[in-house]
Amino acid sequence: VVDRYGFDFLKVYDRLTPEAYFALAAEAKKRGLRVEGHVPLSLAPADTIAAGQTLIDHLTLILEACLPGALDVVHEENAKAPREVDSLMLMMGDRIADALEGYDAQTCGALFSSLAANGVWQVPTLIEMRGFFSADDPAVVSDPRIAWAPPGVVEEWREWGESAGAHDLANGRRVFAAQMRMIRPMKDAGVGLLAGTDASNEPWVFAGAGVHDEMLLFVEAGLTPLEALQTATLNPLLYLGRKSDARLISKGEAGDLILLEADPLDDISNTLKIAAVFAHGLYHDRAALDALIVEAETEAKNGKL
C-alpha cells in the first residue's frame, strides 16, 4: 500500500505497543519514509528519538518527560487500559496536573538539546490544546466564527465541554500553560517548530483561521512575530529539506501570496488584516474574499461543510 500510493511518511499514535512501534520505525527506515506523530504512551520521547522519529505532534509526552515520575504514571495508566487511555485524558487527570510542581528544567533542557541534535521537529498544535481545555470559557464558546462551522459540529464541541467537566478542564489548562512555557526554551535550544492546527472537528479550531490563531499563540508563548511567521512559511521547507524552494516575491516566481494591510512583524495579529489573496494565478480582492466567507457560512448553516 505504501509503495502503491507513494506515501511520504508514516504517522504513529498513542496506543501502539513498543513492539509495533519499533517494527514500524524499522520498516520506515528501510523504505526511506519519515515517522511522524505522537509518542506512544507505552514509550518515552527518548525512545522515539532513538528510533529516528523526525516529528512529534501535540508535544506528546514532552512535558511529562520533564516531570519526575510523570512518565511512570503514563505507562501505568496505559497498561491498565491500553485501548482506552489517550494522552488528552492523561493531561486532564489529577496525577499529571499535580506533578507540574516538580518540573525539572535541567531534565527538560537535556531533552530539548537531544531533540535539536537529532533533528526532531515539533508541531505543538497549541490552538487545538487550547480549544480542548477552554470548552467552558465564554469568550471561546461565543466566538463569532462559529458561523463557519455546521451546527452539528458546534453541538459536538459543546457536548465535549460538558462531558469533560470543570475539574478536568481546569487540570488541562494547567498542563497547557506549562506546555506554553516550554515553547521559548525549545526554540532557544534549537528545536524546530512548525505551525499546525489539526483543524477537522477539534473543539473551537476553525479551518483557515486556525493557523492565524496558532501564530498568535506562538507569540504569546514567547516567539517573536518573525519566528511565529516562520513556523508556517520557511520552517516547513526546512523540515522537508526543500530550503532551495523558498521563493522571493519577483516576476516569474511560483507561489501564492497574501497581501496584508499592516506589517505582521510589528504585530502578529496583522496577518488577519488581509487585503487580497493571489492563489493559483488568480487575484481575489477583499470583496471577493468576503463573498467566499458568506458562501462558507451559508454552506455551514445548511450542514454542507
Given the DSSP bridges, would you call strands 34-37 and 9-12 parallel, antiparallel or unpaired?
Answer: parallel
Mean pLDDT of 126-133: 96
User: pLDDT digit string (tens) for 167-207?
Assistant: 999 999 999 999 999 999 999 999 999 999 998 889 999 98
* Residue 303: per-residue pLDDT: 79
247 compared with 191, residue with greater pLDDT: 191
CB 122 within 8 A of CB 192: yes
- Domain termination residue (choose one: 246, 268, 295): 246
Residue found under cell 526511506: 32
Task: Tell me which of 158-162, 273-277, 285-289, 301-305 is least confident.
Answer: 301-305
Mean pLDDT of 117-143: 94
Residue 251 has pLDDT above 90, yes or no: no
- Domain termination residue (choose one: 198, 229, 246): 246
Q: Are residues 130 and 79 in the same domain?
A: yes
Q: Are residues 169 and 274 in the same domain?
A: no
Identity at 109, one-letter amino acid code: G
In this prediction, residue 281 has a pLDDT band, given cuts at 50, 70 and 90, of confident
In this prediction, residue 1 has a pLDDT band, given cuts at 50, 70 and 90, of confident
User: pLDDT digit string (tens) for 91-111?
Assistant: 999 999 999 999 999 999 999
Mean pLDDT of 29-34: 94
Q: Are residues 115 and 193 in the same domain?
A: yes
Mean pLDDT of 254-274: 94
141 compared with 36, residue with greater pLDDT: 36
Identity at 118, one-letter amino acid code: N
* Residue 245: per-residue pLDDT: 72
Q: Are residues 219 and 293 in the same domain?
A: no
User: In whole angstroms, how far apart are CA 27 and each of 30, 33, 47?
Assistant: 5, 8, 16
Residue 305 has pLDDT above 80, yes or no: no
Q: Are residues 116 and 253 in the same domain?
A: no
User: pLDDT digit string (tens) for 131-177?
Assistant: 999 988 988 889 999 999 999 999 999 999 899 999 999 999 999 99
In this prediction, residue 4 has a pLDDT band, given cuts at 50, 70 and 90, of confident
* Residue 10: per-residue pLDDT: 95
Q: Which residue range is the domain that position 254 belongs to?
A: 247-305
**CA atoms within 13 A of residue 254's CA, in its CB half-sphere:** 3
* Residue 244: per-residue pLDDT: 76
Q: Are residues 21 and 110 in the same domain?
A: yes
CA 253 to chain CA centroid, nearest Å:
30
Q: Dihedral sign for Cα 227, 232, 238, 243, please.
A: negative
Q: Are residues 160 and 302 in the same domain?
A: no
Residue found under cell 501502539: 16
* Residue 5: per-residue pLDDT: 84
Given the DSSP bridges, would you call strands 274-279 and 282-285 parallel, antiparallel or unpaired?
Answer: antiparallel
**Distance in angstroms (rounded) separating the CA atoms of residues 262 and 275:** 9
Whole-number mean pLDDT of the chain?
Answer: 94
Q: Are residues 269 and 231 in the same domain?
A: no
* Residue 134: per-residue pLDDT: 92
Residue 222 has pLDDT above 90, yes or no: yes
Structural domain count of the chain: 2
Residue 40 sits in a domain whose CATH number is 3.20.20
User: In whole angstroms, how far apart are CA 260 and each of 257, 265, 266, 269, 274?
Assistant: 10, 11, 12, 11, 5
Q: Are residues 255 and 178 in the same domain?
A: no
Q: Are residues 285 and 206 in the same domain?
A: no
Q: Are residues 234 and 251 in the same domain?
A: no
Q: Are residues 165 and 39 in the same domain?
A: yes
